[in-house]
Amino acid sequence: LAKESGKNSFRFYTSELSLETEERLNIDIALHSALEKNEIYVVFQPQYNLETKKIVSVETLVRWENDTLGFVAPDKFIPIAEDNGFIIELGYFIFEESCKAFKQMKASGLELQRIAINVSSIQFKEPNLLEALISIVKRHELEASEIEIEITERFLMENTDKNIKTLQSFRDYGFKISIDDFGTGYSSMSYLKQLPIDTIKIDKSFVDDIGENSSDNAIIEAIVALSKKLNYSIVAEGIETGSQEQFLESIKCDIGQGYLFSRPILVEELIARFR
Ligand code: C2E
Ligand code: MG
Ligand code: MG
Ligand code: MG
């Protein structure tokens, strides 16, 4: 019996694996023509000042809908695009679309301080990334200071000295830098003070735990307090409930983002809603 069930679970395991490999392969292939076929577009999620309750900025999030694969989540296709190199072309497209939409938002009277754009660590391997982004920003008649680049904690952890220099060069030009999903990586709190960054985004997993136990609340409170001491702006992501919002406001977290306020939406919808 043991042998048999062992065999069965082995068979189950391999078929799962090959299914995953097949899915990856399908995504990999379909990605290559996704831009030409206009299957990729961007949506924007508002970020609110928790004190004034006003929208102060937006984050760009990429979307992909393919004829046969349907909607594929970025958590699924971004890592594949990073592996096959497509992220470079995709990254420029997202940046370009973000600048174009931000210009539209401003022209329609929306008073936004900036737009946050996720940039993959793979994109930073491009030696001329800074020059390329500057030229896009200029073409759209925007200021670099209106663009906040969201990087992952992982990017800071690998190749630390080199990556810190890279970030510094972006900041020297005026771009804002934000650490996304803060708290999920391995950066220590003491290390924070030497980073060339402007903003810390507290990961949703911390926000999810608000209220459930005081030690989780204590962690968020400590991150907010330290960030303020270091003069970083602080964004809480994934806010879904009023009690999470109230707690974050009470500890003076600056900015909030989440389904409670708005899901990511198209630029036309955003303009219609906030004008
Ligand atoms: P992220 O940058 O941390 O983005 C936040 C994710 O949380 C987004 O998922 C957003 O839709 C979702 N979210 C926001 N508020 C809530 C909430 O209240 N509840 C819940 N359950 N979720 C919320 P999305 O759009 O699926 O993106 C997932 C991840 O994929 C992003 O995490 C980011 O790492 C990556 N990604 C998305 N767009 C881009 C992009 O344009 N470029 C790059 N390089 N990565 C991207
Ligand atoms: Mg992000
Ligand atoms: Mg995040
Ligand atoms: Mg994330």
Residues in Cβ contact with 99 at an 8 Å cutoff, skipping those fewer than 6 apart: 115, 136, 137, 139, 140, 142, 147
Place of tokens 């600048």: 99
Kindly give the number of the ligand 1 atom that is closest to the alpha carbon of 120: 44
Closest CA to 62 of 89, 25, 29: 89
User: Tens digits of per-residue pLDDT, 189-209?
Assistant: 767 888 899 999 999 999 999
Pull the structure tokens for residue 83: 């592996």
Q: Beta strand 40-49 with 70-72: parallel, antiparallel or unpaired?
A: unpaired
- Please report which confidence band the pLDDT of residue 7 belongs to, taking 50, 70 and 90 as the band edges: very low
pLDDT at 6: 45
Query: What ipTM is given for this predicted complex?
Result: 0.98
Residue 15 predicted with pLDDT over 70: no
| Residue 146 CB partners (closer than 8 Å, separation 6+) | 102, 113, 114, 115
Residue nearest atom 12 in ligand 1 by C-alpha distance? 238
* C-beta of residue 56 within 8 angstroms of C-beta of residue 255: yes
Is residue 6 within 6 Å of ligand 1 at its C-beta?
Answer: no
Kindly state the tokens that stand for 205.
Answer: 């997993």
In the reported structure, the alpha carbon of residue 63 is separated from the centroid of ligand 4 by a whole-number distance in angstroms of: 14
Instruction: Kindly report, residue by residue over 172-191, the tens digit of the pLDDT.
Output: 999 999 999 998 876 667 67
Stated pTM of the model: 0.93
CB hemisphere CA count around 255 (13 angstroms): 26
In the chain, the DSSP E strands lie at 40-49, 55-66, 70-72, 114-118, 147-152, 176-182, 199-202, 233-236, 255-256
What share of the chain in percent tops pLDDT 90?
79
Q: 218 near 240, Cβ under 8 Å?
A: no
Q: Is 70 exposed, middle or buried (0-12, 13-18, 19+ CB in 10 A)?
A: exposed
Q: Is 78 in the pocket of ligand 1 (CB under 6 A)?
A: yes
Mean pLDDT of 152-169: 88
The alpha-carbon radius of gyration of the chain (Å, integer) is: 20
- Centre of ligand 4 to C-alpha 15, Å, is 29
The string of pLDDT tens digits covering residues 230-254 is 999 999 999 999 999 999 999 999 9
Average pLDDT estimate for 8-19: 59
Ligand 1 atom 38: residue of nearest CA: 61
**How far, in Å, CA of 275 to CA of 273, rounded?**
6
Query: Which of the ligands is closest to the CA of residue 79?
Result: 1
Q: Which atom of ligand 1 is nearest to the CA of 43?
A: 25
- The C-alpha atoms of residue 94 and residue 77 are separated, in whole angstroms, by 14
Res. 12 pLDDT band, cuts 50 70 90: low
Instruction: Report the residue among 83, 89, 118, 244 best suited for mutation to probe ligand 1: largest number of ligand atoms under 8 A from its CB.
Output: 118
Q: Which of 70, 72, 74, 93 is CA-nearest to residue 82?
A: 74
- What is the residue-averaged pLDDT of the chain? 91
- Please indicate whether residue 205, judged by its CB atom, sits closer than 6 Å to ligand 1: no
- Tens of pLDDT, residue by residue over 75-130, are 999 999 999 999 999 999 999 999 999 999 999 999 999 999 999 999 999 999 99
Q: Report how far residue 226's alpha carbon sits from residue 257's, in angstroms, rounded to the nearest whole number.
A: 20
Which amino acid residue places its CA nearest to atom 45 of ligand 1?
118
Ligand 1 atom with the smallest distance to the CA of 180 is: 3
pLDDT greater than 50 at residue 20: yes
Q: Is 258 in the pocket of ligand 1 (CB under 6 A)?
A: yes
Q: Please identify, by atom number, the ligand 1 atom nearest to the C-alpha of residue 75.
A: 30
